Chains A and B, each alone.
Chain A
Amino acid sequence: MEAHAAHPAAAPRAGIRLPGVGAGLGRGTILLYLSVIVLLPLAAVASKAFDNGLDAFWTAVTAPQAVAALELTFIASLIVVVINAFFGTIIAWVLVRDEFPGKPIINAVIDLPFALPTIVAGLTLLALYGADSPFGLDVFTTRVGVVMALLFVTLPFVVRAVQPLLLEMDREMEAAAASLGARGFTIFRRIIFPNLLPGLAAGVALAFARALGEFGSLALIAIAFKTEVASVYIRSLVESGNESGAAAVSVVLLGASLLLLASITLVQRWGSRHDRGGNTGLTVMPMSGEDFTKDQETDDE
């Protein structure tokens, strides 16, 4: 009773609400933690990138090897994201709307790229599709290999972003569209897809960010100017002592990451604009612990 009486203004959200001072202290601690762990290090990178002035920054970023690495990174990531958007949506569809034996296993396997160390992924993809490949394919040490590795690590993002939206969707909208004369593909195009779009966009943005920064699965196959992605190039710069150069290229990647994160938040706001409850402003990352295979049953009377 006392908690309520002492904090009338807090009443609607009371409960374990800490008294004013407590919340402030908590906030302070959290901000401190975040600063030490995340913000300061990143600031160090930004600072180092411009250590020797804007010209040096520009030189580092436009060096031929840098350009090759950045180009490869962005283009491969883009290709990968488009492919996984397509397949990811299909897989999410099959997992939510279809029933077949072994579905729970397939649903579980989707998370494998989240759980498997990237170096192990790289190693096995190399074994499967590289020089000693049992299929006789020797593609992994080429750019195709880069794409394959990125496909592997980014697969779950789109699936897990689309699944909850598919599940939550009001199935009756589809029945309504059917009663109004729309058929299969039209229903998908005009009713289902627009409602999946926010999740798809967020999943794509996240996958893109992940792909840009991927290192472990590509570390073993890097050949400069051919299959060297930005992260590998940055490492080589660090190893050769060129710290400001490494920081400069890192800033490019950081910039892209920040843009993508901002777009995810914006997409989610835009996506929930039609929801009655509105949104809380906190982003939802598509790797929730919910079981998104149980489709809702409509009431039968």
Chain B
Amino acid sequence: MSSSRSSRWGLRFLGIGYLTLLLLAPLVMIFFKTFEDGIGPPLDAITSPDGLHALKLTLIMVAVAVPLNTIFGIGCALLLVRHRWKGNVIIDGIINLPFAISPIVIGLSLFLLYGANGWFGPALADVGFKVLFSIPGMILASVFVSLPFVVREVVPVLQEIGTDQEQAASTLGANAWQTFWRITLPAIRWGVAYGMVLTTARVLGEFGAVTIVSGSISGKTQTLPLFVAKQFEGFNFAGAYGASLLLAVLALSTLLAMNLLKRKEA
């Protein structure tokens, strides 16, 4: 089907024009706004104790949530693809839930479970384990919201490579673990990597669930996104934009990683 030149340019204009307005302009804006009054104010805000703590906390979230969900993701994908079971559809459905549920609802759910009047809250408090308004709760929230990514990326890869190589390894004497480590894992590594990058991006940017679960206590339970919000509400715009820029840079890095990995997987 040949399209006329005018229709091709028309489509390009519409598509790319829309993208520019919606995506590119905001991106450019962050840079401008941050350095509106020079590099001083944003730098001060980020390097303040609260700012640094927020950065540290965000990185801790990533450092814990990503490995957890990666291991879970690989295991779950293997289970779903290599073992037929009627309940797989249910597992599949549950895994999709974090895509469709509001982060606020997720935060609320954790709040209800581990709060002072919650199902587990009192019991855990007796043991001295505080979930809400402290790091464990925030980790739970991060793990919840970023649950599906590794599974969803690894499943199609596993389906595509099929079992031939694994069966060959079996016939050559490899046991399950050896086959997994030497054959399966290398075959799915780009899918895993891409899933990890998506997970990281999601955890970095998580806002709604962590807001409720952490109480956003400055210097204690405030991640970088929460820091941005607090700064904004306190009219410290330079600080808000500075931290936003930092987050945007991290986001762009993950975007870059995503795209490099896409090519690797092809």
Contact = CB atoms under 8 A, between A and B. Distances in A.
A–B touch (CB < 8 A): the answer is yes
Given A220-B232, A234-B105, A260-B100, A109 B212 contact: no
B1 A287 contact: no
Contact of A209 (B100, B194, B211, B252): B100
Nearest to A93: B11
Of the candidates B72, B194, B208, the one having the most CB atoms from chain A within 10 angstroms of its own CB is: B208
Question: DSSP class of A's interface residues: helix, strand, loop or mixed?
Answer: helix
B29 interface: yes
Interface in A139-156: 148, 151-152, 155
A59 to B, nearest CB: 18
A137 B8 CA distance: 31
Interface size class of B (residues with CB under 8 A): 35 or more
B244 A37 contact: no
Given A44-B113, A90-B15, A116-B251, A231 B105 contact: yes
Contacts of A215: 102-104, 207-208
A151 B24 CA distance: 13
Contacts of B44: none
A45 to B, nearest CB: 5
Given A41-B110, A41-B144, A283-B92, A289 B207 contact: no
A285 interface: yes
Interface string B108-124: 11111101011100000
A152 B171 contact: no
A273 interface: no
A231 B229 contact: no
Contacts of A260: 100
Interface in A43-59: 44-45, 47-48
A183 to B, nearest CB: 9
B53 interface: no
Contact of A117 (B75, B170, B204, B255): B204
Nearest to B14: A90
A175 B1 CA distance: 6
Contacts, number: 340
Interface residues of A, number: 111
B3 to A, nearest CB: 7
A1 B171 contact: yes
Interface in B152-190: 152-153, 155-156, 159, 163, 165-167, 169-171, 173, 175-176, 179-180, 183-184, 190
Interface in B79-104: 79-85, 87-89, 91-104
Contacts of B97: 38, 42, 257, 261
Interface of B: prevailing SS: helix
A67 interface: no
Contacts of A290: 262, 265-266
Nearest to A188: B1
B82 A13 contact: yes
A253 interface: yes
30 contacts: A14-B170, A17-B83, A26-B79, A38-B94, A40-B113, A44-B113, A48-B112, A91-B18, A109-B23, A114-B258, A115-B255, A117-B251, A118-B208, A119-B228, A124-B33, A127-B29, A210-B100, A213-B103, A219-B211, A238-B108, A238-B111, A243-B108, A250-B102, A253-B102, A261-B97, A282-B80, A282-B89, A283-B96, A288-B156, A290-B262
Q: Which 7 A-B pairs have the closest CB atoms?
A: A15-B166, A213-B102, A117-B205, A41-B109, A289-B194, A215-B208, A209-B100
Given A26-B78, A97-B3, A118-B225, 19 more contacts: A14-B170, A15-B165, A18-B176, A29-B75, A38-B97, A87-B14, A91-B16, A93-B15, A94-B11, A94-B16, A109-B19, A112-B27, A114-B258, A115-B251, A117-B228, A152-B23, A234-B105, A243-B115, A250-B102
